[in-house]
Amino acid sequence: MDPPSYEEASRCPPLSSSAPPPPTYREAVQPNPFPVLTPPTVPVAVASPSQDTGIIVHPQTLIGVPCSVCTGSTLPVVQIQPPPALVSVTHLSDSPGLVSCPHCHHVVTTKIKNVPGRDAWCLCICIAVLGLICGFCLIPLMIRGLQDVHHYCPLCGNCLHIYKR
């Protein structure tokens, strides 16, 4: 669509200049930029004026009023997370687990120690046979994914389980 021609535009009435100008900055700003706030009071629905408890209650959120007064119900129920489940000694993996020690009969979280396993030693020997003897053959001994995990009881120190890779 094309814009109107000059003749069509001149036939339209001009914008009225009688509209008031926008307010200046001083007029738009409040005379007191820091108004005095009044402290919240006890709502009429919650407490009667004859009860002077001395507690200031926020009118919208009713902070400071016991829950049974503001909602008509009892205190909220707190749900406690269930205790961690015991793991069988034979089902331990590569991370510490909560078990009952068969030696000292205490419920403990196992202490783990990573030891190079059979796969790490086989890979080490294979790399050495290929001729990479200058320390490269020791790399598999440091890879955690190739190490066996030994689980120990932190109280009595006995080995509980060996998780083989």
- More confident call, 88 vs 48: 88
pLDDT of residue 57: 59
Give 73-106 as a DSSP string. S-PPPPPPPPPPPP--GGG--SS--EEE-TTT--
pTM greater than 0.85? no
Q: SS3 for 5?
A: coil
CA distance 40 to 52: 14
Contact 149, 109 (CB under 8 A): no
**pLDDT given for residue 113 in this prediction:** 92
pLDDT of residue 47: 47
Phi, psi of 151 (to 5 degrees): -100, 130
| Run of H or E residues at 151 | strand 147-152
Q: Where are the domains of the chain?
A: 39-71, 110-163
| DSSP sequence for 116-127 | E-HHHHHHHHHH
Decide if 113 contacts 152 (C-beta within 8 A). yes
pLDDT number for residue 35: 64
Cβ of 97: how many Cβ atoms within 10 Å? 22
When pLDDT is averaged across residues 48-73 and rounded to a whole number, the result is 55
H or E stretch covering 70: helix 67-71
